[in-house]
Amino acid sequence: MAIIENEPLALPSGDVPGVENPLGVFKRPREYSGLKNWLTTVDHKKIGIMYGAAAMFFLLIGGAAALLIRIQLATPNSSFLSADAYNQIFTMHGTVMVFLVVMPIGAAFANYLLPLQVGARDVAFPRINAFSFWVFLFGGLLLNTSWFLGGGANGGWFNYAPNNGVVFSPSTGIDFWNVGLLIAGMGSLAGSVNLITTVLNLRAPGMTLMRMPIFVWMTLVTQFLLLFAVPVLTVAQILLIMDRNFGASFFAVDLGADPLLWQHLFWIFGHPEVYLMILPAFGIVSEVIPTFSRKPIFGYPFMVFSGIAIGFMGWGVWAHHMFVSGLGPLSVAAFSFATMFIAVPTGVKVLNWLATMWGAKITLNTAMLFAIGLVTQFTVGGLSGVSHAIAPWDTQQTDTYYIVAHFHYVLFGGALFGFMSGMYFWWPKAFGYKLDEGHGKFNFWAMVIGFNLTFGPQHILGLQGMPRRMHTYDDAMGFNLWNLVSTFGAFILAVGTLWVLVNALISYKGWSKAGRPDVGPDPWDARTIEWSIQSPAPEHNFDYTPTITSLDDFWHRKYAEVEDGKLRRVATGEEIAQPGNGEGVHLPAPSYWPLVLSLAMPVLGYAIIFTLWLAIPGMLLLFAGLYGWALEPADDLDIDDHHGPSHDELAGANA
Amino acid sequence: MTDLATPVDGGSAADDHNQHQDSHDDHAPTSLGLSNSKLAMWLFLGSECLLFGALISTYLLSKARFIAELTAGNPNVIEGLMPAEEVEALGDGVRGSFETLPEIFNEMAMEGSVEPIFDIPFTSFSSFVLLMSSLCMVLAHKATEERDYKNQRVWLATTALLGSVFIGGQIYEFTAFYREGLTFGGSLFGSAFFTLTGFHGVHVTGGILMLVSLLVLSFRGKLKSDRSETVELVGLYWHFVDIIWVLIFTIVYLIP
């Protein structure tokens, strides 16, 4: 077990200790740079960056699918895509965006920031962290190989029974959907265990729960949602695999099966899922808004407890996705009520952000603009969401473009805008240079205009009765104008979204040309302790573990009340930042086994889809990975203690 | 405080203890005081509760639907329970009925319950065996902490053996049910029963693999009292799997 030291462990030489090999015969890789390091790294920051990069790659796939959908719908009776291709493309668009873009970007921020914000050396289980990433990546790649191996899934992202059975969906697309998400789900589950343990157990001295940054809180709630939601989806997928690939009859309606079972299982997972997509973004803007309003977050405990309340109530609203499935008036009334009620903690958050900005000297840079974008657009999406809680209204609007508009306003206008804000905000911490503000503003305005042009008109289309998931519509239906506007907006939105990558490239070139000036540890005059270390964050995070004395600890070390009762700057971030001297700090060594173990998963996945013979190499790889992992030298000083420096020497080194 | 005294080998424990008086727990200091591994195991088991919860719900729903359709005489359900060649032998336009059902399912239809297929005394015995294995697991952990490595191996081996007896019983039971005509795909009840109990069986098998791995470590002298937490963690998993069986046994076998 890799256990992380809370304090630096000085070694006289400053070298990686010569570890006695307590269990096995394998050595751990030693590279700390280059390709091999990226493949074997257990560093939470590198894993976070890889999560982000992989999500960007999948964003390109999901975005291309979105543009194809919009081209098809731009004109009536279009034959650009066949109905079959359209089914695959909208299904894969939804699946990729939810599971391979929004969730992993949340994971990217969580991985990168959680240990830094709680003052830890790394996550609790660095190798499991690497496993989480690789297994997510391979699950996502397996899902996308379906494009070349018989066509993508075509049952919609929630893949209702009995349409998902072999009878109605004979291609292997749904098998890829099943297996790919099952594999990616293992990553989410392992990640949630890891991150919850990190937050609960590896906090720096003085970092009590109520001094944790809001982002840490929101991510903690998110991980609990994942921990309990993923297994329910897993069960639904296992039932479907049993049905499709092993001849079971869970959803065989002719044998008396109840296809609503799928809907219940899917949405018991699926509704917590939508909260776990938005909560990390809430956390991000709760860091960005106070920093650029130069005020503490308004009502910190309310922010925390409203997040927890959303986490709990998120479990009691799933059936509002099923109002038209004939649940009966009592269930509909109960879920309708619960759904209206969950708007309360969400509204608390919106009001607290507004109150934080109220009367503040706001710095309107790109990060802040995107944060305000989230607050505004999420509120629009939230209000159309509340309108769905009214069951008769929902009955009218369900499965129309009104729903499509609603969830894009919360997931794109909300979550993705929040993530963009986070990227602009933490980019200097991760890479050592700021993203260009001019291009950033263009990035923001193109996205705002494109987004609202794309999805705003879809409210109207939905109210006019245009159903979602239809591959075309007739000329006489009156949908022409707003569909054309929506397609037009989608291309602006695509350019705007891509611009963050362009900006990263341009800013990097400019930074290199200028001789790579040091951006400094604290470029935004920010509040939380990840800004008290150098940028980019050094491999070892903190030179010494900070001691936390208050909420926004770093801020309070920079500003204090002077005699006249006014807040005055007493130090700059540069002055009090840690110098980034990692000499003598012991870090967990990289490892091959997370990669090996993860590679077993797609092999086993293909075994289920194509031929069980593949299970033999898959199982061999699985056991090689498991036992290689278990027998690998732990490379922790707590195994090595007889050879390390004495306690007194260490105390001296820390002083 | 930096905890350097973490796992220490038996003999030197006392010395180390004197050296670092503030670190007598067997893990690095953590915010909650609970070791990372143990916290992670509890979280994982919490997640497993939802997994089995969903499977048990699926079973209850499927069984109820199956009984309702069977007693109503749904010919699809009846033909699903009959061997394929007998369904073919029915002839054109003739559907299966109660009379064409294999005996055991006929009994189910008459009683409106899935009880007739179960052999309660047999499954009670294998449940008893599994519960006793939990006791052995506790003794293995205790022996590890007391540095009694001979008994540690005895109890680890016994736990694994009792687990294997349970799995053997399950294989026997599955075979018997299959011979009586309960196939995996022929009925909702078959699908749900085999999936739920099979999933539990896979969990027990995983536990047996862990126990055998511990046993190998112990024989190689790598499972001393400083690693007693490893034994404890496997124990947590093992007890969890047993508790789930108590639920499954009650819900599937005992409640009519």
Instruction: Write out pLDDT tens, residues A553-596.
Output: 999 999 988 877 788 888 888 889 998 888 778 888 889 999 99
Q: In this predicted complex, what is the ipTM?
A: 0.90
Q: What angle do CA A97, A103, A104 make, to 5 degrees?
A: 100
B205 inside 8 A of chain A by CB:
no
- CA angle A319/A320/A324 to nearest 5° reads 90
Does residue B102 form part of some domain? no
Please list every residue in chain A whose beta carbon sits closer than 8 Å to the beta carbon of residue B192: 250
Give the pLDDT of residue A80: 96
CA angle B99, B105, B108 (to 5 degrees): 110
Q: Identify the H or E element spanning B193.
A: helix B188-219
**Are A126 and A194 contacting, i.e. CB atoms less than 8 angstroms apart?**
no
- A247: nearest CB among B7, B28, B185: B185
The SS3 of residue A237 is helix
- Mean pLDDT for the stretch of residues A472-501: 96
pLDDT of A15 over the 70 cut:
no
A635 pLDDT band, cuts 50/70/90, is low
Put simply, the answer to whether A23 touches B58 (Cβ < 8 Å) is: no
Tokens 């400019």, residue? A510
Average pLDDT, stretch A171-192?
96
Residue-level pLDDT at A21 = 46
DSSP string, A262-308: HHHHHHHHHHHHHHHHHHHHHHHHHHHHHHHHTSPPTTHHHHHHHHH
Tally the residues of chain B.
256
Contacts of A639 in chain B (CB under 8 A): 6-7
Whether B186 and chain A come into contact, CB under 8 Å, resolves to yes
What is the percent of chain A with per-residue pLDDT over 90, rounded to a whole number? 84
pLDDT for res B28: 65
Q: How far is B40 from chain A (nearest CA, A)?
A: 6
Residue A61 — φ and ψ, nearest 5°?
-65, -50
Please report residues of B whose CB lies closer than 8 A to that of A10.
none
Contact by Cβ (8 Å): A157, A91 = yes
Separation between Cα atoms, residue B81 and residue B111, nearest integer Å: 16
Q: A136: which 2 tokens?
A: 């997510």
In the prediction, which pLDDT does B6 show?
36
> What are the structural domains, with CATH classification, of chain A?
43-517 (1.20.210.10)
* Residue A277 backbone class (left: φ over 0; alpha: ψ -120 to 50; beta: rest): alpha
Quick one: closest CA in A to B65, which residue?
Answer: A256
Q: What single-letter amino acid sits at B241?
A: V
* Domain-embedded: residue B20: no
> In degrees rounded to 5, what are phi and psi of residue A577?
-70, 155
- Residue B10 belongs to a domain: no
pLDDT at residue B27, as a whole number: 60
Residues of A in contact with B65 (CB under 8 A): 256-258
Cα separation, A648 vs A654, in Å, equals 10
Cis peptide before B116 (omega within 30 of 0): no
Decide if B222 touches A, using CB distance below 8 A. Answer: yes
The reported pLDDT for the residue numbered B91 is 81
Contact between residue A105 and residue A52 where contact means Cβ atoms under 8 Å apart: yes
Contact partners, residue A599, CB within 8 Å, separation at least 6: A134, A138, A621, A625
Whether B217 maps to a domain, the answer reads: yes
Is the Cβ of B89 closer than 8 Å to some Cβ of chain A? no
DSSP A467: B
Q: What pLDDT shows up at residue A206? A: 93
pTM for the model stands at: 0.91
- Tell me the sheet residues that pair with B240: none
Q: Looking at residue B7, what DSSP letter applies?
A: S
| Choice between A232 and B26, residue whose per-residue pLDDT is larger | A232
- For A345-381, write each residue's pLDDT tens digit: 999 999 999 999 999 999 999 999 999 999 999 999 9
Cα nearest neighbour of B220 on chain A: A23
Q: How far apart are CA B114 and CA A158, in angstroms?
A: 33
Average of per-residue pLDDT across B134-147:
96
Mean pLDDT of A30-58: 91
Our count of domains for chain B comes to 1
* Inter-chain CB proximity B6 and A9 less than 8 Å: no
Residues B147, B10 contacting (CB under 8 angstroms): yes
Predicted pLDDT at A26: 61
B251 DSSP 8-state letter: I
For A257, which of B29, B55, B188 is closest by C-beta distance?
Answer: B188
- What residues in B contact A254, CB-CB < 8 Å? 76
Q: Which of A3, A125, A201 to mutate to test the interface with B (most CBs of B within 10 A)?
A: A201
Is residue A516 classed as helix, strand or coil in its secondary structure?
coil
Whether residue B10 is predicted with pLDDT greater than 80 in this model: the reply is no
pLDDT of A1 reads 40
Q: Which structural domain range is residue B56 located in?
A: 37-66+117-254
More confident residue, A20 or B154: B154
Angle at A592 between CA A626 and CA A139, to 5 degrees: 70
- Chain B residues with CB inside 8 Å of A637's CB? 4
* Residues of B with Cβ-Cβ distance to A222 under 8 angstroms: none
What CATH number corresponds to the domain at position B129? 1.20.120.80
Amino acid B26: pLDDT? 52
Q: Which residues of A135-174 are buried (b: 16+ CB within 10 A; e: fewer)?
A: bbbbbbbbbbbbbebebbbbbbbbbebbbbbeeebebbbb
Task: Examine the pLDDT at A84 and tell me if it is beyond 90.
Answer: yes
Distance, in Å, from the CA atom of B194 to the CA atom of B188, rounded to the nearest integer, reads 10
User: In chain A, which residues have their Cβ closer than 8 Å to the Cβ of B195?
Assistant: 238-239, 242, 248, 250
Mean pLDDT, residues B177-197 taken together = 95
Short-list A153, A137, A155, CA closest to A251: A155
The yes-or-no verdict on residue A207 having pLDDT over 90 is yes
Q: Tokens in use for A71? A: 């081209």
Residue A140 has pLDDT above 80, yes or no: yes
Band (A3; pLDDT cuts 50, 70, 90): very low
Whether A248 and B50 lie within 8 Å, measured CB to CB: no
Q: Which one of B1, B12, B50 would you mutate to disrupt binding with A, by most A Cβ within 10 Å of its Cβ? A: B50
Select from B20, B32, B69 the Cβ nearest to the Cβ of A256: B69
Q: Does B32 touch chain A (CB under 8 A)?
A: yes
In this predicted structure, the answer to whether residue A25 has a pLDDT above a threshold of 60 is: no
pLDDT at A118 over 80: yes
Q: CA-nearest residue of chain B to A204?
A: B31
Average pLDDT, whole number, for chain B? 88
- Would you place residue A633 in the very low, low, confident or very high pLDDT band (cuts 50, 70, 90)? confident
Q: Apex CA A638: angle with CA A637 and CA A639, to 5°?
A: 90
C-alpha–C-alpha distance, residues B157 and B159, integer Å: 5
Cα distance between residue A267 and residue A289, in whole Å: 32
What's the CA gap between A282 and A287, in Å, rounded?
9
Inter-residue contact B187 to A255 (CB < 8 Å): yes
CB contact under 8 Å between A242 and B195, yes or no, is yes
* A467 φ, ψ (degrees, to nearest 5): -75, 150
pLDDT in tens, A268-284: 999 999 999 999 999 99
Backbone dihedral angles phi then psi of residue B92, each to the nearest 5 degrees: -65, 135
Tell which wins on pLDDT, A220 or A10: A220
pLDDT recorded at residue A570 = 87
- Residue B155 belongs to a domain: yes
Which residue of chain A is at minimal alpha-carbon distance from B12? A642
Q: What integer pLDDT is reported at residue A634 of this predicted model? A: 66
B43–A255 CB contact, under 8 Å: no
Under 8 Å CB-to-CB from A228, ≥6 apart: which residues?
A: A272, A315, B46, B47, B50
Q: Do B30 and A242 touch (CB under 8 A)?
A: no
Contacts of B205 in chain A (CB under 8 A): none
Under 8 Å between Cβ of A16 and A644: no
pLDDT digits (tens, 9 = 90+) for A422-481: 999 999 999 999 999 999 999 999 999 999 999 999 999 999 999 999 999 999 999 999
Contacts of B29 in chain A (CB under 8 A): 6
Q: How confident is the model at residue B149 (pLDDT cuts 50, 70, 90)?
A: very high
Number of helical H runs and strand E runs in chain B: 9, 0
Judged against a pLDDT cut of 60, whether residue A258 lies above it is answered with yes
Averaged confidence pLDDT in chain A: 90
Q: Which residue of B has its CA nearest to A247?
A: B185
State both tokens at A173.
């697309």
Question: Residue B17, Cβ neighbours under 10 Å: how many?
Answer: 13
Instruction: Between A31 and A648, name the one with better pLDDT.
Output: A31
CB A585 within 8 A of CB A122: no
Residues A486, A492, A496, A497, CA torsion sign = positive
B163 close contact with A: CB closer than 8 A: no
Is the CB of B37 inside 8 Å of chain A's CB atoms?
Answer: yes
Q: Do A23 and B222 touch (CB under 8 A)?
A: yes
For residue A636, pLDDT over 60 is answered with no
Query: Is some CB atom of chain A closer than 8 A to the CB atom of B80?
Result: yes
Please work out, in degrees rounded to the nearest 5, the angle formed at the alpha carbon of residue A370 by the alpha carbons of A367 and A373.
Answer: 155
